[in-house]
Structure formats: C-alpha cells, structure tokens
A = this chain, B = another copy of it.
Amino acid sequence: MGHTIGRWIRGAALLPVALTAGVLAYAQEDDIAARLAALEESVSGSASSYVDNSYLFLIGGIIVMLMAAGFCMLEAGLVRSKNAAMQSTKNVALYSIAGLMFWVIGYNIAYPGAWIGGDEGLKFFGMPAMDAFFWAGGDLSVESDAGYAPASDWFFQMVFVATAASIVSGTVAERVKLWPFLIFTAVLTAVIYPVVVSWEWGAGFLDTKWAFSDFAGSTLVHSVGGWAALVGAIIIGPRAGKYFGKQVHPMPGSNIPLAALGTFLLWFGWFGFNGASQLAAGTAADINSVAQIFANTNMAAVGGVLAAMITTAVLYKGKIDATMVFNGAIGGLVSITAEPLMPSMGQAVLIGGVGGILVVLAVPLLDKFKIDDVVGAIPAHLVCGIWGTMIVPATHGAAFMPNEAGDPNFIGQLVGVGVTGIFVVAASTVVWMLLKLTMGVRCSLEAEEMGLDKAEIGLEAYPEFTSG
C-alpha cells in the first residue's frame, strides 16, 4: 500500500507535466487548427492543379488555333497566285465554320451522354443530349468536377475540329467552288468528325471494345481530314491540265517562303496539339509527360524532315525538294500524334522518319491515280495518320489482339483505322455527291483558268506582281 501510495505520488508528481502538456496542446491546437484552416483555404482557393490543367488547355488551344494560320500560309504558298486570296479566305472561313458547328452540335455528338442502342449496344452513334446543343459552359464560380475549366476543354476540342477541316482545304484547292466547300466543311465539323471522335474519346466502341489507342488524333483528326480530302479530290477531279495521258504537269506553288512559314507554324502548334492532349498538367507525372511529349513531337518532325530530304536527294539526283521537306515535317508530326508519349526519342525519330519517307513515296503514287492533291495533304495526314496509328502497339507491349489489360493492339488499331476510313469515305461521298448534284462542286473551266480570286472574290492576291 505504501508502495501503491508511492506510485500515486510519483504519478501525481507528473500531474503538472500532463496538465501543462494537455492545456498547452489544447492552446497550440487552436493555433494549429487556425493555421491549418488558413492553409487549406489557401491551397483550395489557389486551385493549383485546377489552374495548371486549365492553362494546359488554354495555352495548348491557342497555339493549335495558330495552326489554322499555319495551314493558311502553307496552302496560300502552295497554290498558284491566281488562287491565293481565295485560299486565304477559305481558311479564315473554315476555321469559323468549324467553331460554329462544333458549338451548335459537334461537341454534343462527340461526347454523347448516351448511345443509340444503349450502353450494351454498338456504341456507334451517340444520342445527342437535348440540353447539350449550343454548348454552354456551366457555373463559372465553382471548380468543375472534371478538374479543369469547362470552357478550356471545349476550346481545346474546338481547335481540333478546325484542324481536320483545314486538311481538306489544301487538297481540293484551285478548283472547288467556295460555297459547296464551306457546306462540306459544316457537315464534316458538325457530324462526320464528331461521330468518329465519339467512338474513342467519347468512350464509344473503339475505346471500350477494341482498346483502340490514338493519343492526339493521328486517326481521329488527321486521317478523318485525309479521307474527306481524298474523296473530295476524286469527286471534284484534278485541276484542268494537271494530267494528260501519263504525263503530270507540275503546277508549282507561288510563294515558297509562306509555305515554310506555314510549316513552322504547324510545327509550333503541334506542341499544343500533342502536349495538351495529356489532358492534365497539375502533377509532376503529368507535366513530366507533357514535357516528354514536346521533346518526342519535335524529334518526330526532325525525323520527317531529314528522311524526306535524304529520300528526295537520293531519288532526284542530289536535288532536294522543298515542298517535300515541308510535308516531311508534317508527316513526321502526324506519325507521332497517335502516341507521342511512350516512344523513346530515338523511336520518335524513326516513327517520324518513316512518315517523311511515306510522304515522298505517296505523292507520285497519287499522281499515278490522277488524284490531284494540291498541297500534299493526303500523304501527310492520311498516309502518315494510318502509319502512326498502326505503330502504336509497338511501343506499348506489341499486343496483337485486344486483351484483358486493355493494351493497344494491332487488331484494335486496324479496326479503328478501317472503320474510320469506311465511315468517313462513305459519309464524305454522300455529302460531296449531294453537293455535286445540287449546286455543283467545281468551278467553271473559265473561272479555273482565270483564277478563283477574280472569279469568286473579285480581288487578286498579288495584283501588282503578276502579269495576269
């Protein structure tokens, strides 16, 4: 008992310590709780990764927007001067129409709330939501659950549509009539492109059933534009005088420095196109990935340029072809677009390099079939778009068939490429043919000879430079 009491006394001796510690803890507690709350508010108020993510879309979006200027310069430089004002005007107009259509209906189709046939169905055609026509942003005062500003995403998606439309413009230049072209653009950006996008980025059948993988759109954007351009080139036919018999009459571009500028602007914009397709930048892992995508994207373009230079130097007895070099860059960029993150930088050079070679080989092939692609958009965007998509599994474990892990696989990629091709060719054929049968798609021979600048917009691109 004495022992017990002694224990109690020793225990009690510690009482003041406990007391002090407890009370002090309680007091500090208040301070810490207040500091913690302040910090929480600061961290939440600053919305750090929310802002970082939104910046990615906004900055990425505007530099992709500048790709519209890039296409404009490339095409204005590669058409003959008598059509250069028209081509410039078309590019401003198509960018506008793409934005309008994607707002009215395109976004709604691309990211459907539900599928016709239900979630167990084919997931082929989305069911547009009645309240999602005329896309609107939602509550600006709160963080969106998506983790980024809603309009930043819409904006970023919108400039992608415009890219697809720009591709068509170059191929069918110098003979397509303005209004049918713009109507085709409207249908492409309102329906055709969004349907294809819904299959993959909208969580449709390519995504859920085939593990189709297309990071930034080699197939979904570039091949869609390329297929539509191909159908347009066939239905509209080649420029007058381009082909007689087996001979190909060259019709050189009128302003090569502008085409070079266009190439650089496209290259520049592609950092946004691929980099911001990472879709987030608020964590170390995300921003590391964005940075790696920048480096890989650049290396693929480098590969495309050098491969095109070397290939043309070999094929053309030491002379390189400037337009092939420019298209080599674009071909390299399209090739890496389906997977700009997983390849090593060396693989990126190779993937882009093959793209550059494909461009050089595909141009004469098209001529052989008398398919007149004024700026070489079909080789760069369609051929390289397919190549870039098909090589994806090679840097992802090289699965052959869809598997349980959902790895990218060759069959899935082939299905994606094929179904996209079939759908876009079919839909484009219907639209181009309807336009041909109703209002006509091709300007008169007279207008073509005079140049579309004079014929359709009553103003010449370079009134003082040419004797015309």
Contacts and interface: CB of A to CB of B under 8 A. Distances in A.
Contact of A284 (B39, B47, B178): B47
Given A62-B63, A265-B69, A46 B11 contact: no
In terms of DSSP, what is the predominant structure of the interface of chain A?
Answer: helix
B155 A294 contact: yes
Contact of A84 (B63, B69, B256): B256
Contact of A100 (B11, B19, B302): B302
A170 to B, nearest CB: 14
Interface residues of A, number: 146
A208 interface: no
Given A93-B309, A260-B92, A295-B137, A322 B47 contact: no
A192 interface: no
Contact of A255 (B22, B55, B59, B462): B462
Interface stretch (A139-147, A357-365, A371-379, A391-399): A139-147
A392 B36 CA distance: 42
Contacts of A50: 284, 287
Nearest to A76: B257
A279 interface: no
Contacts of A178: 320
A187 interface: no
A267 interface: yes
Interface stretch (A122-130, A236-244, A453-461): A453-461
Given A52-B46, A287-B152, A459 B323 contact: yes
Per CB-CB distance, the 9 closest pairs between chain A and chain B, nearest first, are A69-B264, A88-B260, A22-B22, A21-B22, A149-B291, A151-B291, A152-B291, A25-B25, A76-B257
